[in-house]
Amino acid sequence: MSHYKTYFVMLLVSGLGAFALTPVAIRLALQWGAVDLPNARKVHDKPMPRLGGLAVFLGFCLPWAGLYFIHNPVSAAFLDFETRFGALVLAAAAMLVLGIYDDIKGADAPKKFLVQTLTAVGLWSAGVRIEEVSNPWGHPIDLGLLSLPISVLWIVGVTNAINLLDGIDGLVAGVTTVIALCLAILNILSGNILIALLTLCLAGACLGFLPYNHSPARIFLGDSGSLTIGMVLSGIAILSLFKEGRQTANPLLSVPFILFGLPLFDTIRVMVKRLARGQSMFQADRSHVHHRLLEMGMNHRQAAWTLYAVAAGLGSTAILLSRLEHGQQLVFSVILAGLAATSYVVWRLHLREHFNEDKDDVPPVV
């Protein structure tokens, strides 16, 4: 029971901390010129401060300071976890600094990827790494030398997927809250107390920020927020699903990809579409799923809550899947893949009818 009290306190402190610090972030954004100006691609029509990441980062870190002043089993266990926690905080801080620079001065894609890659390598060096993946037909597969590139690909991929999802009021903060709470449940079921606390602190920080960011937003996350959240979330996912939590999850088949299905699918879909059109993968446009929902007549709140529901459905499915035996996971994963493919084809046909899109823009139905 004491663990559950700790869970609640950490969630509450991170939430209250982020909520209290967001007005400070708004003032600093206005003073420093970190303001998002409207343009043809943006969905807002007035200048908006965009240093929300500062409040989220501090809200996430705040509860952990208290563990140095209390003495219980959780604080004792934390002392053995300090190295990886410190690496995760430093990685998040690196993304925060990069994001603040981008929000104020602007940074091109190569610079961002370089910093993200170096940060991911640092996390790998500190032990936040994918060393093996589950095998439904036998013993886990040791990645060996592939551990570094696969870990970096996951960290950088998730970080940018979360960044690219940040397109309408409250979307990333809400979706992150859902994913983090699902990860918390996975870790609680697996007995991974400290990893559960990490996820709850991230969820709390996003919840505390959400009242200011939900439509109509008074502040945006900016790159300082979306990159920071993406880095923390990717690192926690590794600790949850590929290390301490691997005994109850099957990361090779589906659990991480279902749980992160919304940001990963949206990013991959948009990148593939841009390449098919001969465009740069990094050229911003209005082809993300949230843009489509807005074009279908939804307002910001409706689009955000629709995608919250999608994230919650995927998260619940991932939790259920993680509790099954490997053989059952394999069968269930195949069924889910078929349902996902069918749903995507139906979605594309609906878009073709709704927007009267060109035939070449819609994948063939086979």
Give the model's pLDDT for residue 329: 64
pLDDT digits (tens, 9 = 90+) for 196-207: 989 999 999 999
Q: Which of 136, 310, 199 is nearest to 318 (CA)?
A: 310
Neighbours of 138 (CB within 10 A): 8
Tokens of 293: 């929902």
Q: pLDDT at position 205, please?
A: 97
pTM for the model stands at 0.86
The whole-number pLDDT of residue 247 equals 45
- pLDDT on residue 193: 83
Q: What is the pLDDT of residues 269-302, one digit of tens each?
A: 888 887 777 776 666 667 788 878 888 888 889 9
pLDDT of amino acid 147? 92
pLDDT for 244 equals: 53
Q: Which residues of the chain have pLDDT under 50?
A: 245-252, 357-366
Pull the structure tokens for residue 126.
């500190």
Instruction: Copy the structure tokens of residue 361.
Output: 């823009």
The domain segmentation of the chain, as residue ranges, is 2-250
